[in-house]
Structure 1
Amino acid sequence: MSGAAPLMAEGQAALAQLKAHGGGGGVDESERDVVAVIVPADVSEPVREVTVHQAKGKALGCFVDFCKDHFSRQVLSGNQLDTYRKQVQEQAKNQEVSEEMIKNLAARTMVDMVVLHPNRPDTGFVSVNMYVDDKGIAKELPMNPRASAIVAACGQSTQVLGDAFIGKQFDDEDGFYRLDFFAKDLDTSLPWMKFAGAYNQRNAGQQHQPSAAQLKQLAQKMSAKPPPTAAEKAAKHKEHVTSRNAIVLKEKGNRLFAAGKVPEALEAYGESLKLAGVTDISASADLAGFAESPIVHALLSNRSACLHKQGKYEEALENAQACARVRPKWPKAYGREAEALTSLGRFEEARGALTKALDLIKPEDPARAEFQTRLDKLPTSQD
């Protein structure tokens, strides 16, 4: 393993960038987009590049936050929570762990990091890291064969569960700078991966090498996309800014609604919906594409509440039903629907909506009592 580490030059370039912008080589404070890679657990999905937006002054936490947002889409439930409880208790050994603490830990999204290319003086202070969901076992996430093969090629023996993200950074303790990492960088013939494999095995005292079959399989499965063009990066940035503005408008609507300014709140929610890409909520509109949006379902629910307060019950119902199509497993959507149906005198339909909501709420959830009370107080068609 003679000669300079393959990523040494990138580390020197990153340090030069920091010194040029900050004068002292400290943490990168700029606002920019950084390219990383996601390796899906589902092998039918291609390995692809993702754009991580680094807000001003947020270089240290932006990538982990990006991963958390992805991993938080799947939460622990039922038997999975029991599995996680056992894991925590085993790790705690003889220390007492309260049920409240376990629930708090279960509710938090945390990220595990696997170091592929180590960050050391003799490697240019450049590291390549893989980020995975730390609750992979409890969530019963599937084994990720491609990510596991990448780890093996880098001289590690970790079995990866669920989707995995890979990013690159320069960090010499004084300076920190995120570097672009592209799908093409996962080619097993590249010097950095060979260096990482030899380095990690030597320092861990491991004797085994990843098999030729593993490396061949990895090379075959890596369907790398070309690096994004400047236009594509600009489009991604615009998309991010638009999404951020949509969230700002949603929060503005919440403040206006709380202040009793219902028409103004309704307008803010409507503008936010447009920025989020929703232009049609009619019964024939396909809203399935917004299922993973963090705000569209809430905006539709909030619009329904505003319209109901204005006595526009049909429009309130339309927004509530659209909300249910976006998030069919969200009880509140059916609560809004029942509210509008009740005001329209359509009590049996309201009863059906509340029953749907109750079917989705766990017995121990405090919200269940509220929905049950509403159902019990609902007039019959004969009343």
Structure 2
Amino acid sequence: SGPSGRPIDAKRRNAELASAASSAKPPPSSDPVVQSLKDAGTAALNEGKYDEATEHYTEALAMLRVLDEETTADNRESGADTTVPVAENSGPSIAAARWALTASDEARAVAAALFSNRSLAHHRSGRYVDASVDGAAAAQLRPFWPKPYYRIAVARLDLGHYPRSVAACRRGEALAASCGESTEPFLTLLNTISYTAMRNGSFAGFD
């Protein structure tokens, strides 16, 4: 039963989670410049040009912010309600994306994809702290999307933060399962975390 003493409808809760997760993957940007920068970043990433990819994603985020602020200003002038609830105690991990928390739905979704991609570029450049921060930003903006949790888990693994890596990995696995995606990447990663942690004197992943 829940805190109120009433039974929890597990089937309904799981259905709601699955519905949210299935629509969690961010859509393409409707702005051609932002999408072009994102595509350029992905191309550079695939070619192993990680610093160049990071620059493209960063520029895309800056452009997205400018465009969204212009749209928000126009909506405010027309009397539209532009208020978006901001999570309390979001912490330093979201500092780089704080503007996006109050942006439009589309801007938040596109920003999540950009932060997730930039997280990968940071990780492949060995910037694990930055990778973890960007992964956390993506997860904050798109909490039912499994991919950011994979980014976070991998970054935390390479930082030696094994229990936190396990936590992110398990969260991502649960989300992937709820939306019908393969959980194999998360299960494989969890095994890697557990093995690496054990070699370094930690039993994270064996609880």
TM tier, smaller: 0.5 to 0.7
Q: In the comparison of the two structures, how many residue pairs are matched? A: 148
Q: Is the 8 A contact 1:281 1:287 kept in 2?
A: no
Q: Is the 8 A contact 2:153 2:165 kept in 1?
A: yes
Mapping 1:192-341, distance limit 5 Å? 243-277=31-65, 281-282=94-95, 285=98, 287-290=100-103, 291-293=105-107, 294-341=109-156
* Counterpart-to-counterpart distance in 2, 1:362 and 1:310: 30
Mapping 1:1-383, distance limit 5 Å? 243-277=31-65, 281-282=94-95, 285=98, 287-290=100-103, 291-293=105-107, 294-362=109-177, 365-379=180-194, 380=197, 382-383=201-202
Q: Match of 2:180, as an amino acid?
A: D
Structure 2 stretches lacking a partner, 5+ long: 1-13, 24-28, 70-92, 203-207
The alignment's TM-score, normalised by the length of structure 2, stands at: 0.62
Q: Residues 330 and 284 (structure 1 numbering): CA distance in 2 closer, same or farther, change over 3 Å?
A: closer
Higher RCO, 1 vs 2 (CA within 8 Å, ≥6 residues apart): 2
* Counterpart-to-counterpart distance in 1, 2:97 and 2:110: 21
Q: Residues 362 and 284 (structure 1 numbering): CA distance in 2 closer, same or farther, change over 3 Å?
A: closer
C-alpha displacement of 1:315: 0.9
Structure 1 stretches lacking a partner, 5+ long: 1-76, 82-106, 108-239
* Counterpart-to-counterpart distance in 2, 1:326 and 1:301: 10
> Pairwise CA RMSD of aligned residues?
3.1
* Counterpart-to-counterpart distance in 1, 2:47 and 2:58: 18
Q: Is the 8 A contact 1:269 1:303 kept in 2?
A: yes
Cα deviation, 1:347-376, whole Å, max 9, x if unaligned, reads 100000011111212268352111112112
Aligned counterpart, 1:197: none
C-alpha displacement of 1:288: 2.4
Cα deviation, 1:202-254, whole Å, max 9, x if unaligned, reads xxxxxxxxxxxxxxxxxxxxxxxxxxxxxxxxxxxxxx99x321111001111
Q: Residues 260 and 284 (structure 1 numbering): CA distance in 2 closer, same or farther, change over 3 Å?
A: closer
Cα deviation, 1:47-71, whole Å, max 9, x if unaligned, reads xxxxxxxxxxxxxxxxxxxxxxxxx
Q: Residues 268 and 348 (structure 1 numbering): CA distance in 2 closer, same or farther, change over 3 Å?
A: same
Instruction: Look up the SS of the partner of 1:370 in the other structure.
Output: helix
Q: Match of 1:287, as an amino acid?
A: A
C-alpha displacement of 1:259: 1.3
C-alpha displacement of 1:317: 0.9
Q: Is the 8 A contact 1:347 1:378 kept in 2?
A: yes
Instruction: Look up the SS of the partner of 1:365 in the other structure.
Output: coil
Deviating runs (4+, > 4 A) in structure 1? 278-281
Percent identical pairs in the alignment equals: 29
Q: Residues 352 and 308 (structure 1 numbering): CA distance in 2 closer, same or farther, change over 3 Å?
A: same
* Counterpart-to-counterpart distance in 1, 2:97 and 2:35: 26
C-alpha displacement of 1:289: 2.9
Instruction: Look up the SS of the partner of 2:150 in the other structure.
Output: helix
* Counterpart-to-counterpart distance in 2, 1:263 and 1:376: 30
* Counterpart-to-counterpart distance in 2, 1:297 and 1:364: 18
* Larger CA Rg, structure 1 vs 2: 1
Q: Which has the higher helix share?
A: 2
Q: Match of 2:46, as an amino acid?
A: A
Instruction: Look up the SS of the partner of 1:330 in the other structure.
Output: coil
* Counterpart-to-counterpart distance in 2, 1:364 and 1:246: 28
Instruction: Look up the SS of the partner of 1:367 in the other structure.
Output: coil
Q: Is the 8 A contact 1:287 1:322 kept in 2?
A: no
